[in-house]
Amino acid sequence: MANWGRLSCALCIFGNKHQWATARKVLPVQFVRVKDYEAKFGVTIHRTLDVQTLADSGTPYANATDDLIVKLRATTYDEPIMMVPWVLPAGAYGDTTGSP
């Protein structure tokens, strides 16, 4: 299974079941907020499945470790820039940000 390769929103409408399972682990408060909005408004973020069902059918990514989760929840970015110069990625759609 791939790791979380998306460059868009963590709780993206295009997320697959594994991304939603990982989002539930990494961002539980935000996940519950989306789940509750679905129930309140009677619509799902995904066209056919609610986020709870998506997350239940997926497996959190192995790289969603406790130390990485701390970094993901941070409000500042203190890590080194890995691409110099930075270039616009191929896109946010798909599991690997548009990469093969």
Q: Does residue 44 lie within any of the structural domains? A: yes
The residue type at 15: G
More confident residue, 45 or 81: 45
* Residue 77 burial class via C-beta count within 10 angstroms: exposed 0-12, middle 13-18, buried 19 and up: exposed
Overall domain count for the chain: 1
Q: Does residue 71 lie within any of the structural domains? A: no
- What does the pLDDT look like over 74-96, one tens digit per residue? 788 777 767 667 666 665 555 65
Q: Does residue 49 lie within any of the structural domains? A: yes
The SS3 of residue 16 is coil
Specify the pLDDT at position 8. 63
Q: Does residue 40 lie within any of the structural domains? A: yes
Q: Does residue 48 lie within any of the structural domains? A: yes
Region 27-39 average pLDDT: 94
Q: Does residue 41 lie within any of the structural domains? A: yes
Location of structure tokens 């939603």: 20
| Residue 45's pLDDT band (cuts 50, 70, 90) | confident
Rounded Cα–Cα distance for residues 73 and 88 (Å):
23
Average predicted confidence (pLDDT) for the chain:
80
40: containing domain = 30-59
pTM of the entire structure?
0.72
